[in-house]
Amino acid sequence: MTWSGLNVPPSAKGGIVTIGNFDGVHRGHQAMLTAVRGCALDASSPVVVVTFDPHPVNILRPQIELPRLSSLKTRTELLKRFGADEVVVLHVDNDLLGMDPQTFFKQVVIQQLEATGVVEGPDFRFGKDRLGDTTVLKQLCEQNGLRLQVISAVRHDAEMISSTRIRSLISGGRLIDAVNLLGHSYTITGQVSHGAGRGTTLGIPTANLESIAELLPADGVYAGRCVLNGKPYACAVNIGPNPTFNDSTRKLECHVIDFAGDIYGQAMAVDLLSELRELHSFDSQEALVTQINHDVLRCRQIFAASEI
């Protein structure tokens, strides 16, 4: 019986395939896409990326909370930005995770994707209990007449670039370092909701973002950008409580610089570019406003210089 958790459009069949989580689509993933595109050009085939959703860890160990670095929508956009012709979502369930490597390869790679070649990294694992590695993959590709390329890991400061490493940097508030490894800004998506209204009172209105699925950075103030009505704007983003007003609720508040309009209830994506400072309690509202105005100036400068 063929597993049915994969919907492969005709345009994604017969391509050069790479399979993985691709969470964050970091510089290591981008190197993979470059290699896939090179093979695809030689073979006149499409570049096909297969990504898992949800993450296998969420099924195997549901007690472990693993926030993603990118929503499925953002991940798909990034994969296509960096070279994918087709992005196919592999729905992860217990049936999939119970397949041995040979069955997975036969049903997914051969029967459903009809792949003509495969590109993976050196740490690629597949099949039940991750028993399939690049040695097993090589044997299966040879048996089925598929071209295989295993690329070298991409390193930074002598350490492999990985989603796990980037999660650690973001959790620690080291956004500049995380963005460097990502090779693009870090995007957080959510729904705009009403907050306490203090920002409007201070003359600096903010949009509160709720229902955020991505990993939130450590508490602090960050520079970012967003696009509203097709126009890009600089943003000053506060993540965490508001100690000046004795508000201990952790939240994300975004001041969209030079924007006037009603966006409450809308979906919103904010690209975080850099950390600015830690959170502080100020002696007065005037001191707080002075600091925010300074933050806004720095956000304008970072926004103007941003290229990724």
List the domain boundaries for the chain: 10-160, 186-305
pTM of the model: 0.90
pLDDT band of residue 211 (cuts 50, 70, 90) is very high
Mean pLDDT of the chain, nearest integer: 92
CATH class of 10-160: alpha beta
Alpha-carbon distance of 36 to 22, in angstroms, equals 14
Residue 227: what pLDDT?
95
Beta-carbon contacts of residue 8 (< 8 Å; ≥ 6 apart):
88, 112, 113
pLDDT digits (tens, 9 = 90+) for 244-266: 667 678 899 999 999 988 898 99
pLDDT digits (tens, 9 = 90+) for 180-196: 999 999 999 999 987 66
Backbone angles phi and psi of 150, in degrees to 5: -110, 115
- Residue whose pair of structure tokens reads 């041995």 in the numeric block: 100
Handedness of CA 40, 41, 42, 45 (dihedral sign): positive
Residue 66: what pLDDT?
80
User: What does 204-239 look like in DSSP terms, one character per residue?
Assistant: ---EEEES--BPPPPSEEEEEEEEETTEEEEEEEEE
pLDDT digits (tens, 9 = 90+) for 213-234: 899 999 999 999 999 999 999 9
Residue 2: what pLDDT?
61
Mean pLDDT of 39-51: 96
- Residue whose pair of structure tokens reads 């295989």 in the numeric block: 148
Mean pLDDT of 143-162: 95
More reliable by pLDDT, 199 or 297: 297
Q: Is pLDDT at 93 greater than 60 in this prediction?
A: yes
Cβ contact 298:273 at 8 Å? no
pLDDT above 90 covers a percentage of the chain that reads 78
Alpha-carbon distance of 96 to 4, in angstroms, equals 9
Mean pLDDT of 104-128: 96
Query: Residue 239 forms beta bridges with which residues?
Result: 220, 252
| Fold observed for domain 186-305 | Elongation Factor Tu (Ef-tu); domain 3 (2.40.30)
